[in-house]
Homo-oligomer: A and B are copies of this chain.
Amino acid sequence: MTYNGKLPESLNVWGNRKIADNLIGEMWGKKGVFTCTVANTMTSIRPGISDAGDTPDLTLFTPAADAELLVSGKITCMKGIQINPGGIPTPATLTKAALELSGMPYYIVNGGSKISPYVPYFDMGGECGRDITSGDSVSNVKEGFEKGKILAESLARGYDYIVISESCAGGTTTALAVLMAMGTVKENLVSSSSPNNPKELKTQTVMQGLDAAGIEPGDLKDDPLRAIECVGDPMMPANVGMIVGAAKAGIPIVVGGGTQMAAVMAAAVALDPSVQGRMFQGTTRWLMNDPNSSMVKLMGSISDEIPIVYVNMDYNKSPYEGLQAYEWGYIKEGVGCGGASVAAIIGSKGEITCENILDRVHSIYREIMGIQ
């Protein structure tokens, strides 16, 4: 049965519906692959920048722990599990639920890490990113980009579509920096894993980075790889390359994530405008409803040919406070949780629903929290 344009109830579309429907049609009932690119930027240990870890230092462990939770179900790189302050569990719990239900194969890509996950991953020749206030943040950008292209072309041989996502604490700040360097945005529109988005601190940090790199906002409009090199993070080159490579290989692309992925999409569009029409952002209702950021405004400044498909996951009904917190503005996105859910629903022709996914999230949550 082909897709008849009737969106499953578990999903919503924002933006260009025609492109969304075309891509959903190509993915309907087909076999995709999920990837998550992990990386570190030393920007994340600046106090106040990232809540993706119980303490600033622990934010460096979160990407590796996310990869381990997804792939082996067991966290090896740190004690306990990766949580936000207040005990709110990583969105990898939702990603894992969607991947398990859909049976979708998935791979970890290592963009450049301080802490490497104890699972097999695709190495992209990257290194841990330096603090963006250095103005010289990412090494081997061209290598990561080229290897990203090759990787996506390799994966396209075996799968009908690809989800590209990230786990990189501090990534909304680096995204803002790259978007400012490229002139895509002039103000802070990015999100945060905390309900109290430290906007002023992020903007200050970004301006310090641009200063140190000797660039004015907008200077690097036509050179996104240089913008990443100056003030980005090592998740970006690989993911930009993967978008370009997957588009070249002709498979639909789900860009899983929130405002962190805006910089990746903006860079991909600048490098290869033909990627437009071949991807949509896959995210969550939480991200779309975030009063402290604006994915819609952000997207408007990148392209009007990249629709957003978001999943109506609702944790209000959850009996667990750690999950209810998602409804209070904590976390919202990450580890491709939105993209994985959207792909699971489309790949199953809508047979998988938010309800199924929530049940599975609960059993994963109970398991990792040790609840009987």
Contact = CB atoms under 8 A, between A and B. Distances in A.
A151 B105 contact: no
Interface string A148-168: 101100110111000000000
Nearest to A156: B105
B157 A158 contact: no
Interface in A226-266: none
Interface stretch (A17-25, A113-121, A217-225): A113-121
A277 to B, nearest CB: 25
Interface string A200-211: 000000000000
A350 to B, nearest CB: 22
Number of copies: 2
Nearest to A105: B158
A71 interface: yes
Given A123-B121, A124-B120, A150 B72 contact: yes
Contacts of A110: 123
A10 to B, nearest CB: 23
A122 B107 CA distance: 10
Given A110-B123, A120-B147, A122-B121, A105 B72 contact: no
B157 A120 contact: no
Interface in A95-109: 103-107, 109
Interface of A: 31, 33, 71-72, 103-107, 109-110, 116, 118-125, 143, 147-148, 150-151, 154-155, 157-159
28 contacts: A31-B158, A71-B150, A71-B154, A103-B157, A104-B157, A105-B154, A105-B155, A105-B157, A105-B158, A106-B154, A106-B157, A107-B154, A109-B120, A110-B123, A116-B125, A118-B125, A118-B147, A119-B147, A119-B150, A120-B123, A120-B124, A120-B148, A120-B150, A120-B151, A121-B122, A123-B123, A158-B158, A158-B159
